[in-house]
């Protein structure tokens, strides 16, 4: 056996023996009278045993860091352990602060039961050294879990599906270091209050969570019976229940349910239906058809789960979004620009198909490319262009795409008509460099917004504007197509060159038909998110169709 392996085996055996001795000592009767302080220290020393650090999941406690164990004896001084939160007289004020935050974890979309609040609360009246030692370690153990979860979200989904949830949790979380921050905090309550995201997107969802829980406690909303669609001006026996449903969530004035309920779809109800539809990503036509009826009948408990998982997603994003930034919501197919907490621009976007999903990440826009080339990705060349070339060797020329021998700088341009495409394998096709010239035909349109990243994703214009009229817009290969690129460019460049970049100047630069790269003096933060529950500029909670089916997968990851 190698020397290192022998040492590790010996360390594991020693650790196990030490833990066993601690447990034995904890059960042994005291041999002599001790002072209360010494008795507490001895009890703490005896009580400490190895614990696996379990970072809490959404609904029940599950081990999330599977690669290593964490031992409370590594946090407490092994030779002379001192309690952090209790004394021989009982729990101190900071212990009460911790318990209070653990009890109120529900406000952050976390489950207090995952932090053993009942066990902790039951020990607060105890004064026996053994009970106080247990209380101190329970407070420490659960505080560490709470700090991680409320700040970074549960890490477990990363291990369940690392491809889908690579941003989940904090794999570099250091329990001892984070505990020291809490111990050294002058105001522990203020420190714990500072842990969740502080921006309006998260805070708005937190308020929505409180609102929907209040609706649930009040009995929820009625189930609307199936039937023919309800159009403006029509009569229907289900309308009283529809009024109750819309009043419950504030889409209609709650005062409407205090008097006689209408059975006619009048102007006020039409307005309320349209508001509900806008909040749920539906066409606001004021007609209650199958989709609107299905959205109304989603139980309040499901809405609460949806809000919670989207609060979790915000913990996985960058904490500091920036003073000015771009925010793309994949699930809502939109882009907004924020400056000093104000919405200054928004537009529709097209995102990746289900099989070519747009990734979630944060970065900074470093330059804008006007009249860009489009370098056709090898995957598209293999899967889409090769079949076309086998049918028509002139298909590249028709789309202003030039063919080069490879991706190097000294690559030679090749005439596509001189190639026997039936003899070219998909692997060889991926080695060719296909480049589309700038112009209105270009797949990237006439503007590209670049933020270098490992996914090779960027924002860009598109010549296919008609797709923006669709309500569900997942048609791209993963990049994000922008409906109003000239206006977005003016927003991104507003602080550049003395603020001279107007929409008109951007358009003039495009009309030159010459390529122009504008590097930003201050790269602009961009955050690509996936939010199926979000807060609009008026502070109203909105819900979207789960286009990639990630909500169900995330909830399943929490349960596994």
Query: Cα 485 to chain center, whole Å?
Result: 26
Per-residue pLDDT of the chain (560 residues; tens, 9 = 90+): 555 444 444 444 444 433 433 434 343 444 444 677 888 877 777 766 444 344 333 333 333 333 323 556 667 776 677 889 999 899 999 999 999 999 999 999 999 998 999 999 999 999 999 999 899 989 998 999 899 999 988 777 777 777 777 777 677 777 888 889 999 999 999 999 999 999 999 999 999 999 999 999 999 999 999 999 999 999 999 999 999 999 999 999 877 767 788 888 899 999 999 999 999 999 999 999 999 999 999 999 999 999 999 999 999 998 899 999 999 999 999 999 999 999 999 999 999 999 999 999 999 999 999 999 999 999 999 999 999 999 999 999 999 999 999 999 899 999 999 999 999 999 999 899 999 999 888 888 999 999 999 999 999 999 889 999 988 899 999 999 999 999 999 999 998 888 889 999 999 999 998 999 999 999 999 999 999 999 999 999 999 999 999 999 888 887 76
> pLDDT tens, 501-528?
999 999 999 999 899 999 999 999 999 9
> What pLDDT does 74 receive?
67
pLDDT for 114 equals 87
- Of 303, 230, 320, the C-alpha closest to 266 is 230
| Dist. CA 457–CA 454, nearest whole Å | 8
Note the pLDDT of residue 553. 87
Q: What is the DSSP letter of 33?
A: -
The distance of Cα 30 from the centroid of its chain, to the nearest Å, equals 53
- The residue extents of the domains of the chain are 3-193, 224-296, 317-372+443-529, 374-437
Task: Tokens for 236, please give them.
Answer: 């229907």
0.75 exceeded by pTM: yes
For position 46, what pLDDT does the model report?
73
Contacts 24+ apart (CB under 8 A), 19-25: 19/49, 19/50, 19/73, 22/46, 22/47, 22/48, 22/49, 22/73, 23/49
What local confidence, expressed as pLDDT, does residue 173 receive?
Answer: 79
How far, in Å, CA of 503 to CA of 487, rounded?
A: 6
Taking each helix axis as running N to C, give the angle between helix 36-47 and helix 3-27, from 0 to 180 degrees, rounded to the nearest 10.
130
Query: Helix and strand tally (H, E) in the chain?
Result: 20, 17
**CA 280, CA 541: separation in Å to the nearest integer?**
9
How confident is the model at residue 34, as a pLDDT?
60
Supply φ then ψ for residue 238, to 5 degrees: -85, -10
- Which pLDDT tens digit goes with each residue over 462-485? 988 999 998 889 999 999 999 999
Query: pLDDT at position 73, please?
Result: 65
Greatest distance between any 2 Cα atoms in the chain: 98
| Fold equal for 224-296 and 317-372+443-529 | no
pLDDT, residue 21, reads: 35
CA distance 394 to 417: 6
361-370 and 447-450 strand pairing: antiparallel
Q: Radius of gyration over alpha carbons of the chain, in Å?
A: 30
Bridging pattern class, strands 480-482 and 474-476: unpaired
In the structure encoding, which two tokens stand for residue 418, read together?
């001189």
How do residues 225-265 score in pLDDT, each as one tens digit?
A: 999 999 999 999 999 999 999 999 999 987 776 778 888 88
Q: Which CATH number fits domain 224-296: 3.65.10.10, 3.30.1360.70, 1.10.101.10, 3.40.50.1820?
A: 1.10.101.10
Q: Which two tokens stand for residue 259?
A: 């008097």
pLDDT of residue 69: 37
Instruction: Using alpha carbons, select from 517, 456, 454, 526 the residue that is nearest to residue 488.
Output: 526
Main-chain dihedrals φ then ψ at residue 116, nearest 5 degrees = 55, 40
Helix (H, G, I), strand (E, B), or coil: what is residue 543? strand
Strand locations in 413-508, DSSP E?
A: 413-414, 433-436, 447-450, 459-460, 474-476, 480-482
**Which is it for strands 474-476 and 342-352: parallel, antiparallel or unpaired?**
parallel
Whether domain 317-372+443-529 has CATH 3.40.50.150: no
The packing angle between helices 129-152 and 36-47, to 10°, is 60
- Residue whose C-alpha is closest to residue 431's, from 410, 413, 408, 399: 408
Q: How far apart are CA 23 and CA 134, in angstroms?
A: 12
């Amino acid at each position: 056996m190698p020397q290192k392996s022998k040492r590790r085996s010996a360390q594991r055996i020693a650790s196990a023996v030490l833990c066993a001795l601690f447990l034995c000592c904890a059960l042994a009767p005291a041999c002599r009278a001790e002072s209360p302080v010494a008795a507490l220290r001895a009890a703490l020393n005896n009580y400490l045993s190895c614990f696996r650090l379990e970072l809490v999941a959404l609904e029940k406690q599950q081990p999330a860091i599977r690669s290593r164990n964490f031992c409370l004896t590594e946090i407490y001084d092994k030779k002379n352990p001192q309690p952090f939160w209790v004394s021989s007289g009982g729990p101190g004020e900071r212990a009460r602060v911790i318990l209070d935050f653990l009890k109120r974890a529900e406000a952050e979309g976390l489950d207090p039961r995952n932090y053993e609040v009942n066990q902790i609360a039951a020990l607060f009246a105890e004064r026996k050294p053994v009970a106080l030692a247990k209380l101190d370690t329970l407070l420490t153990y659960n505080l560490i879990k709470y700090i991680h979860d409320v700040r970074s979200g549960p890490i477990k989904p990363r291990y369940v599906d690392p491809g889908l949830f690579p941003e989940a949790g904090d794999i570099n979380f250091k329990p001892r270091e984070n505990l020291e921050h809490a111990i050294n905090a002058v105001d522990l309550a203020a420190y714990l209050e500072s842990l969740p995201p502080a921006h309006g997107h998260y805070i708005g969802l937190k308020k929505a969570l409180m609102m929907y829980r209040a609706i649930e406690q009040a009995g929820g909303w009625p189930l609307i019976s199936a039937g023919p669609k309800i159009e403006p001006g029509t009569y229907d026996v289900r309308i009283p229940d529809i009024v109750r449903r819309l009043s419950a969530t504030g889409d209609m004035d709650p005062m409407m349910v205090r008097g006689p309920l209408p059975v006619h779809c009048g102007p006020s109800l039409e307005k309320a239906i349209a508001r509900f539809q806008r909040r749920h990503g539906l066409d606001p036509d004021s007609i209650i058809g199958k989709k609107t009826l299905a959205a109304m009948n989603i139980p309040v408990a499901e809405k609460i789960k949806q809000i919670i998982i989207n609060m979790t997603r915000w913990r996985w994003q960058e904490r500091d979004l920036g003073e000015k930034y771009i925010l793309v919501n994949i699930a809502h197919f939109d882009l907004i620009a924020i400056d000093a907490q104000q919405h200054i621009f928004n537009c529709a976007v097209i995102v990746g198909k289900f099989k070519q999903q747009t990734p979630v990440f944060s970065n900074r826009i470093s330059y804008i490319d006007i009249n860009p080339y489009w370098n056709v990705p090898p995957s598209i060349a293999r899967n889409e262009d090769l079949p076309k070339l086998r049918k028509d060797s002139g298909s590249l020329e028709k789309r202003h795409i030039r063919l080069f021998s490879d991706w190097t700088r000294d690559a030679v341009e090749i005439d596509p008509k001189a190639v026997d495409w039936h003899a070219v394998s998909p692997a060889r096709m991926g080695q060719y460099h296909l480049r589309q010239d700038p112009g209105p035909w270009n797949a990237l349109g006439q503007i590209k917004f670049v933020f270098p990243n490992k996914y090779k994703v960027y924002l860009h214009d598109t010549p296919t504007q008609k797709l923006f009229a669709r309500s569900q817009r997942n048609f791209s290969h993963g990049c994000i197509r922008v409906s109003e690129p000239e206006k977005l460019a003016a927003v991104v460049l507003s602080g550049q060159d003395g603020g001279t970049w107007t929409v008109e100047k951007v358009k003039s630069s495009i009309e030159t038909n010459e390529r122009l790269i504008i590097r930003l003096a201050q790269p602009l933060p961009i955050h690509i998110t996936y939010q199926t529950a979000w807060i609009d500029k008026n502070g109203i909670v909105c819900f979207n169709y789960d286009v990639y089916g990630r909500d169900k997968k995330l909830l399943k990851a929490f349960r596994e």
